[in-house]
Amino acid sequence: MATILINKDNFYHNLNQIALKTGSIEKIAMVLKDNAYGHGLEIMGKLASEFGIRHAVVKNIEEAERIKALFETVLILGDLAVKDEVYTFAINDLSDIANAQKGAKVELKVDTGMHRNGIAMDEVDTALQQIEKRGLELVGVMTHFRSADEMGSELFWQQKQFESVKEKVHAAGFKKVRFHSHNSAAILRTRNFSEDLVRVGIAAYGYNELPEPFDHVTLKPVMKLMAGKVAARRLSKGERVGYGGDFSAPDAMKVATYDLGYGDGWPRGDSQNAYITAEGLPVLGRVSMDFIILESDKEVVVIMDNAQEAAKQFGTISYEMTTALSEKIERLVI
């Protein structure tokens, strides 16, 4: 059956590279949202904790509950704030403050230019006042960069905006507040990290999306996607394969079906522009809900061992390749 192999050594290599940038393992917050970018929430949470990571970031309380025991703090990006010793909650809008439970630990997200989530720059003073009035515990202030993986000045513009936010927080008298703005791209390109935390997502899983002009940090893909043989058959010249018969055998050949399809989160793609597996085998004809067909008789084949390279074939990004994979696929640590 289809299986995802999780390479522990590669994961730890990547975390070491990040730690060299931050100067401390304690400054790394492991982003585990969306089933740890498809790698397996509990598996990656446990591995990160064993490595020494003390902080995690997830999407909601449901995810947080599954890894709560592993970390000192868990930042929840998208749920209403409740009082808890481990959980902290992102404030994405002023209404989140009004709806928060008294005594909850919160981290104020400020929109410094991405214009997705976070309060506006001119709402910072109001937000700080309301947090205090509501009886919430402000433990963090953060932002998110929109173009850290691109050349240009936008990153520096947002950093300057965030520095002014820090000044407002200090001026308002808040103490023991952790500041964090760096995502994977930002930490990979930085040479002087001075904040309290970095939220590391895709880099920890082995992908450096920065273009060539930046100093290169070598990362190793953590995930390898395998598929198992279901059935084999011989085709005569001219026999056609799969739905619509999009592939026609150019000569007599032996093919097999393997247990992976779009029902498992694998892209359907374009049968006229076949995906080439990590072993150099083109997918023959259309991807089915549960199966692909390859010219192979191997019991197990490697479909993908580098999501960044696979993504190029589909005109997408590594994030989409990994997060789309079904949680039902078995994940094994090697």
DSSP codes of every residue in 10-32: HHHHHHHHHHHHHS-GGGEEEE-
Task: Pick the catalytic residue from 33, 105, 109, 224.
Answer: 33
Residue 261 CA to residue 263 CA, distance in Å, equals 5
pLDDT at 128: 98
- Residue 99, helix vs strand vs coil: helix
Domain boundary among 134, 169, 200: 200
The CATH number of whichever domain residue 113 belongs to comes to 3.20.20.10
Domain boundary among 136, 165, 200: 200
Per-residue burial over 307-327, b = 16 or more CB atoms within 10 Å of its CB, e = otherwise: bbebbebeeeebbebbbebee
Domain boundary among 168, 200, 232: 200
pLDDT at 219: 97
Same domain membership, residue 45 and residue 144: yes
Does residue 193 sit within a domain?
Answer: yes
Decide if 243 is catalytic: yes
Same domain membership, residue 229 and residue 161: no
Same domain membership, residue 60 and residue 23: yes
Q: Would you tell me how many other CB atoms lie within 10 Å of the CB of residue 292?
A: 29
Contacts of 209 (CB under 8 A, 6+ apart): 149, 184, 185, 202, 308, 317, 318
Q: What is the mean pLDDT of the chain?
A: 96
pLDDT tens, position by position, 152-205: 788 889 999 999 999 999 999 999 999 999 999 999 998 899 999 999 999 999
> What's the domain range around 34?
8-200
The CATH number of whichever domain residue 298 belongs to comes to 2.40.37.10
Instruction: State mean pLDDT over 298-320.
Output: 97
Same domain membership, residue 320 and residue 242: yes
Task: Pick the catalytic residue from 102, 160, 237, 243.
Answer: 243
**Count of structural domains within the chain:** 2
Same domain membership, residue 180 and residue 227: no
pLDDT at 213: 66
Residue 200 DSSP class: E
Does residue 148 sit within a domain?
Answer: yes
- Annotated binding-site residue? 289: yes
Q: Is the pLDDT of residue 306 over 90?
A: yes
